[in-house]
Amino acid sequence: MARRRTAVLISGRGSNLRALIEACARPDASAEIALVISNRADAAGLDHASAAGIATEVIPHGAFSTQVGFENAIDRALHEHAVALVCLAGFMRVLSPWFVERWRDRLLNIHPSLLPAFRGLDTHRRVLEAGVRFTGCTVHLVRAEVDAGPILVQAAVPVRQDDTEASLAARVLAAEHRCYPMALELLASGRAQVIDERVVIDGAMAPDATVLNPRSL
Ligand code: GRF
């Protein structure tokens, strides 16, 4: 089967983009990263894309007088590059309902919490304040509501008593780099389908262990 042409939208560092590029370099990958779009010219992630020989476009939101103008430019670039799937990876602009609908079930996002808990920004600070014992990350299909939509893959990450925002963010980020390639592969290969607003994965197996935090004494 032809690989699904995938675009990644970024605004910054691009470590998830890098994980996606690495995973799609495997000969058996169902997706290929065909385009990287950034709304910021100084996004470090653009260098990862160029180094991998991937087409890049900078579409600065500030250059447009309306949000719809900005989104139309993104939509045009996606069509010009014959893109089938779109991954948001640290893309710091909220997309409007018309754009989200246009790319319905073909638009993914990663969020650094176990959704639906801790939607929005400053996730790790709020996780530490809440004193929860587990956090994690979620890859989901995008819906108009921010940080909501059918869940493809989640990772549970333990919170340690001595965690800082930075140490927790680093542990969650390592999990993100495993989850995003898995989620893209599931969608691109056709193994994941949306049924009644939930993702059903052909042949998926849940882990068999229940984990306690603190661990059993
Ligand atoms: C990640 O933590 C992701 O979950 C969030 O923004 C961050 C992007 O990091 N949406 P990077 O640019 O992929 O390194």
Q: What is the pTM of this model?
A: 0.97
Asked if residue 116 has a cis previous peptide bond (ω within 30° of 0), the answer is: yes
pLDDT of residue 13: 97
Domain boundaries, the chain: 4-201
Mean pLDDT of the 78-96 span = 97
Residue 15 DSSP one-character state: H
Question: Which sequence positions are flagged as catalytic?
Answer: 111
Angle made by CA atoms 51, 180, 148, in degrees to the nearest 5? 125
Reduced to 3 states (helix: H, G, I; strand: E, B; else coil), residue 96 is: coil
User: Probe ligand 1: pick from 110, 147, 154, 184, max atoms within 8 Å of CB?
Assistant: 110
Reduced to 3 states (helix: H, G, I; strand: E, B; else coil), residue 190 is: coil
pLDDT of residue 24: 98
Residue 71 DSSP one-character state: H
**Residue labelled with tokens 């909501």:** 148
pLDDT at residue 1 tops 80: no
CA of 16 from ligand 1 middle (Å) equals: 6
Q: Which percentage of the chain shows pLDDT scores above 90?
A: 99
Tell me: the pLDDT tens digits for 118-174?
999 999 999 999 999 999 999 999 999 999 999 999 999 999 999 999 999 999 999
Q: Which token pair is 27? A: 């000969």
Which atom of ligand 1 is least distant from the CA of 172?
A: 2
CA of 132 from ligand 1 middle (Å) equals: 21
pLDDT of residue 171: 98
Question: Which residues have C-beta atoms less than 6 Å from ligand 1?
Answer: 10, 12-17, 45, 89-90, 110-112, 173, 176
pLDDT band at 216 (very low <50, low <70, confident <90, very high): confident
Tell me: the pLDDT tens digits for 32-56?
999 999 999 999 999 999 999 999 9
Which atom of ligand 1 is least distant from the CA of 15?
A: 14
Which atom of ligand 1 is least distant from the CA of 12?
A: 12
Q: In whole angstroms, give the CA distance from residue 134 to residue 209.
A: 15
Q: In whole angstroms, give the CA distance from residue 11 to residue 214.
A: 36
pLDDT at residue 112 tops 90: yes
Distance of CA 189 to the CA centre of its chain: 17
Mean pLDDT of the 10-36 span = 98
Name the CATH superfamily for 4-201: Formyl transferase, N-terminal domain (3.40.50.170)
Distance from the first to the final alpha carbon of the chain: 50
CA-nearest residue for atom 12, ligand 1, is: 14
pLDDT at residue 67 tops 90: yes
pLDDT of residue 217: 78
CA of 71 from ligand 1 middle (Å) equals: 21
Which atom of ligand 1 is least distant from the CA of 18?
A: 13
CA of 190 from ligand 1 middle (Å) equals: 25
